[in-house]
Each structure stands twice: as C-alpha cells, then as structure tokens.
Amino acid sequence: MRVRPRLRNRLTCPAHNSRFPANVLAAQSTAAGAAVRAAPAPVSPHSWRRIVGPADGFLKSVARRLEDQVSGFEPDIAGYVRYALASQGKQLRPALLALSAKPIGALTDDLITVATIIEMVHLATLVHDDVMDEARVRRRRPTLSVRCGNAISVLAGDCLFAHALELAASFPTPDICRAVAAATKTVCTGETLQTLLSQRRAILGREEYFRILRMKTGELFALSCRLGGRLTGASDAEEQALHEYGMALGTAYQIYDDCLDLYGLERDAGKSLGTDLAAGKVTLPIIVAYERADPAQRRQLDRLLADWHPERLAPLCAVLDQTDALAESVSAIRALCHSARESVSVPDRPALAEAAEFVEQLTGSLGVPSWKMPS
C-alpha cells in the first residue's frame, strides 16, 4: 500500500505575476460574489445533448471507431483496453472537433479518425490520473487501477498513447501526426509539472497554476477545435481563433473540475472527489484563499494542508468561505468562457458559443460543499 508523502516544511505562497488578463486572474471579490449569487441553475445532461445534437451521428461513429481499436491490441490486454476506452463521458473533445468543422459534424473518415485519436490520448491521461490520485470511481464505476492494479493500468495507458500516435502517423501528410504528438507531449509535461509540485506541497502562484491548466487540459481542447477547422478548410485566421477558443474553454473547464473536487458530490459527479488535496495538488480556491488570508487564516491553512485527511474538509471550506475563494474561482471560469465566445465568429459556429455557455452554467452546481449537504 503506497503511503502518501507528508509535508514537513512550512507551505509558502509566492506572489503571482500573470500574463492572463486581469479579469481572469484577479476579479474583484465584490464582482465575483455577485457572479456567484447570479449563478444560473445547474445544467442537465439534456442541455449538452441539445448542443451537440447536430453532431450526434458523428459522435456515435467516433464511439464505434474507438471500440474498433481494441482489436489492434494483444488479446491478453484487449479487455483492459476495452474497459479504459469505455470511460467516455460527454465526449467533450470529439464534440468540439465536430462543432468546429463546417458543416457541423461532417462525417468524413479523417474527422472521425482525428477525434478518435484525441479521445484516446485523453482517456490514456485519465488512466494515469486515476493511478496517481488513487481514485476509485470514474464514470460511476471502478477505475481500471481498482480492477487490475496500478502496474497494469500504467502500462495500459502507455499502450493507448502509443496506439493514438500510430493512428496519427497513418495520415498521408505529417502535419496531423506532428500536431497530435506535440499536443500529447504538452499534456504529459503539464501532468508531470503538476505532480512534481504536488510532491513538494508548494502553494502555486496563479501564473503557474494557469500555465499548467493550459498544458494539461487546454491543449487537447485547442487541438480538437483547431483540427476540426483545418480538416474542413478553415483559413489560418479561423484556425488560430479556434485554437484560442479551445484553450480558453479547456482552462475554464479544468478550473470547474478543480472546484468540483472541493464543492461537489460523488453521487452527482460520478467519480472520486477529494483526490486533489489527498495528492497534494493545489487548485484555484486554495490559491485564492492564501492570497486573501490574514496571518491567522494562513497559519490555519498551513495546519490543515500539512497532513491532509478528509475530516479536515469542513474547517478548510470555512476558510475558503471567509476569503470568498469559490466566488473568485467562479468569476475566473466565467471570464474565460467569455473570452472563448469572443474568440470565434458566432454566426459561423453558433454551437461553440453555446458550448461555452454550457461550461459557464456548470458553475451553478457549485457553492455548497459536500460536508454541508444533508445525508
């Protein structure tokens, strides 16, 4: 059984000096509080299905293509691969690729293959994440690591990465393979940086936090949008706009996911929560709390995070409430979603604007930490 490292040195909070727009990184607390109070109601899955409705046939084709990939693995490991590939959720990345194409959801073989590649890279990262975070539930079922152990899970994730790059190399021109390989390297680099920092249990500044989010999550969102445009004749300017849209939206979505780890319910999320703090990962609510805490509150944060266990969630969230950490985090999500919408031409791709609104509306489910919920 792996023992989580204990913090032996006092946590520090470096000053932040970010290249992100000020409205994203440091919204005023009063505006942020108003944003939370004005939060729309939580969004049902039906809303997402409505947005991606025009791409429904495309997404089903991608799911079938993913299933077809199982036959490309050795029979002895095919079952593990099939289990990992079945962990699709909203199919965000294939959906964004389809919504970025013109016409939306064009059923070309190249688009289906690229969406399959990107989703396979994403699922490989989830397999590795679940090992590192010791997560037990993903998509409302046991994680691959729970079913077959960490060693097999890590190797299965490696196989998925390799297979995705093999598929990318099958394109007649090298630009797709280069784009996928570069994005995969960026994602893995972001995950590695976050793991190194979590092992040190250091409190990040916002600049470093956002940089890691752009690498580990924004990169695949941006790749999906960019290639969806490229493969359907987008101009260089359109492709760049799609890239910026995907990067902003992916970063916003990851902040939401980080907040969910503190303020969500496992029965609603369908996955293990509370794993970030257990693994030493510092997310935006914690960063904001350190920025705004007085000396006494900062000492309390140091004590709570130094040797983490779930019973400390209630007093931690009390400090987060006192510093309006969630309100500031929600404000950052909404600012990024606004930036995403501003990046694309809404008349040409209205569904992309709706997808950004969907991510923004997800914040309506935040605000009541799990320890406050009735049993």
- What are the pLDDT digits (tens) for 150-162? 999 999 999 999 9
Query: What domain count does the chain have?
Result: 1
pLDDT for the residue 32: 37
Q: Is 137 helix (H, G, I), strand (E, B) or coil?
A: strand
pLDDT for the residue 195: 87
Does 256 have pLDDT greater than 80?
yes
As a whole number of angstroms, the distance between CA 98 and CA 92 comes to 10
Q: Is residue 16 part of a domain?
A: no
Q: At what angle do helices 350-361 and 236-263 cross, to 10 degrees?
A: 20
Q: Is residue 248 part of a domain?
A: yes
Q: Is residue 26 part of a domain?
A: no
pLDDT for the residue 367: 61
- Amino acid (one-letter) located at 155: L
Q: Is residue 22 part of a domain?
A: no
Q: Is residue 280 part of a domain?
A: yes
Q: Which residue has the higher pLDDT, 26 or 150?
A: 150
Q: Which residue has the higher pLDDT, 39 or 107?
A: 107
pLDDT above 90 covers a percentage of the chain that reads 54
The answer to whether the beta carbons of residues 203 and 287 sit under 8 Å apart is yes
Containing domain of residue 362, as a range? 38-372
The answer to whether the beta carbons of residues 337 and 249 sit under 8 Å apart is yes
pLDDT for the residue 46: 55
Q: Is residue 52 part of a domain?
A: yes
pLDDT tens per residue across span 282-324: 899 999 999 999 999 999 999 998 878 888 888 998 999 999 9
Q: Considering the entire predicted model, what is its pTM?
A: 0.83
Structure tokens at 142: 């046991």
Which CATH number belongs to the domain containing residue 351 in this structure? 1.10.600.10
As a whole number of angstroms, the distance between CA 168 and CA 147 comes to 30
What's the distance, CA 239 to chain centroid? 22
- Amino acid (one-letter) located at 256: Y
Q: Is residue 15 part of a domain?
A: no
Q: Is residue 82 part of a domain?
A: yes
b/e map of 37-54 (b: 16 or more CB within 10 Å)? eebeeebeeeebeebbee
The answer to whether the beta carbons of residues 123 and 84 sit under 8 Å apart is yes
